[in-house]
Structure 1
Amino acid sequence: MTARLKKNRGLRGHVSAGRGRIGKHRKHPGGCGNAGGQHHHRINFDKYHPGWFGKVGMRNFHLIKHGKVTPTINVERLWSLVSEQTRAYYKEKTDKAPVIDVMKAGYMKVMGKGKLPEQPVIVKARRLASRPSSSYERGHKATLPRRLRKRLRPLVASACSAHEVSRASMSRRSVVCPST
C-alpha cells in the first residue's frame, strides 16, 4: 500500500496517533497469543478454528513410536550383506551354506525382487514376503517360516549341515535353506 493512503497520514499532528499517551502502544491489550479463546476471543475461535479445544479418541499409554515400521531388503541385495571372502569361501564348500542375518544389518523383512545366484544360503529374517518363496525356489532355495521350523527340522537337516541348522533353529526368526 502506498504511504499516501495509509491511516497514519491523517493522524500527523495528533501526538500519539490514536494509541494513547499512557500505554504508548505497548503490551498486549487482548492478552498474549491465543489467550481468551474460551472467553473474550470466543467468537473468533468458534468461527475460524472449530475443534480447537477438547480431546478426541483414546490414550495409548504404551505407544511404540515406530512399531509398524518394517525395514525391508530385496533378495537381489542379500549377498551385499556378506563379504566377498565369505562368498568365495562358501562357493567351494557344498556341505555348508553361509548364514545371512538381515536383522543384524537393520532389516526385518525380505522382499522378492531380483534373483539369487545358484549358491545355497541361509537367511535369518523376522518376516518373509509372499514372493520371496517363489524367488528362492527359482534359485534352488527353500523358505522355512518360523511357525513351521519345528515340524520341518528333520527335512531341513537333510538339506543343510547340522551345525548351520542348529544355529538357525536357536533363533526365533525365519530361515531360508537350500533345498535338495
Structure 2
Amino acid sequence: MPTRFSKTRKHRGHVSAGYGRVGKHRKSPGGRGMAGGQHHHRTNIDKYHPGYFGKVGMRYFHKTQQQFWKPTINLDKLWSLVPAEKRDAYLSGSKTDTAPVIDLLPLGYSKVLGKGRLPQIPVVVRARYFSRDAEQKIKEAGGVVELVA
C-alpha cells in the first residue's frame, strides 16, 4: 500500500488520530487476553477452542507417573533393536551356536505386543510384560520369554 493512503497520513492534522483525548490509545475495549471468555467472547471460544471451559472425569491427586510407565514395542520391531552386524549374522544363518538376547528395559521398553511376524530364529526376549500373542509367537519361533522385575 502506498504511503499516501496509510492511516497515519490520513490523520495528519487531526490531533489524536482517532484514538480520543481521554484514553489515548490505551486499554482494550474487549478486555485483555482471555477476558470475557464466558461472557462477551463466548462465541469465539466455543467456535475455535471447544472444551476449554469445564471439567471432565475425576481428578487423580498425587499421581505418580512412574507407576504407569509402560512403553510398548511390537514383535515386528524387535529385530531392529539388535545391532546391524549381529542381526545380519543371525538372519543369514551363519551364526547358529547362540541366540541373541534382547533386553528391553535398558532400551526403554517394558511391554512386548504381538503385532507382526518373527523370523524362525530362536531369540531370548527379556521384558516386564508380554501380551499373550507375543509370548506365543516368540515360543513358536523357538525363542524364550523372560520376565524381568
TM-score, length basis structure 1: 0.48
- Structure number, greater radius of gyration: 1
Pairwise CA RMSD:
4.3
Could you tell me which runs of 5 or more consecutive residues in structure 1 were left unpaired when the two chains were aligned.
144-167, 173-180
The DSSP-based 3-state class of the residue aligned with 1:33 is coil
SS where residue 91 of structure 1 aligns? coil
Structure 1 Cα separation of the partners of residues 139 and 12 of structure 2: 88
Identity of aligned residues (%): 31
1:126 CA drift (Å) = 1.9
SS in 2 for 1:44: coil
CA contact (8 A) 2:75 2:118 kept: no
Report what 1:177 is aligned to: none
Instruction: Give SS of 1:49's match.
Output: helix
1:75-121 alpha-carbon deviations (Å, 9 max, x no partner):
56347436739969x8336xxx55431112112222442323444x3
CA change 1:54–1:81 in 2 (3 A) is: same
Q: Equivalent residues in 2 for 1:1-180 (5 A)?
A: 13-25=13-25, 27-30=26-29, 31-35=31-35, 37=36, 43-49=39-45, 54-64=54-64, 67=68, 70-74=71-75, 77-78=78-79, 80-81=81-82, 84=86, 91-92=96-97, 99-112=101-114, 113-119=116-122, 121-141=123-143, 143=145, 171-172=148-149
Residue number in structure 2 paired with 1:176 = none
What is the Cα deviation at residue 72 of structure 1?
Answer: 0.4
Number of residue pairs matched?
133
Could you tell which deviates more after superposition, 109-118 or 74-83? 74-83
SS of residue in 1 equivalent to 2:126:
strand
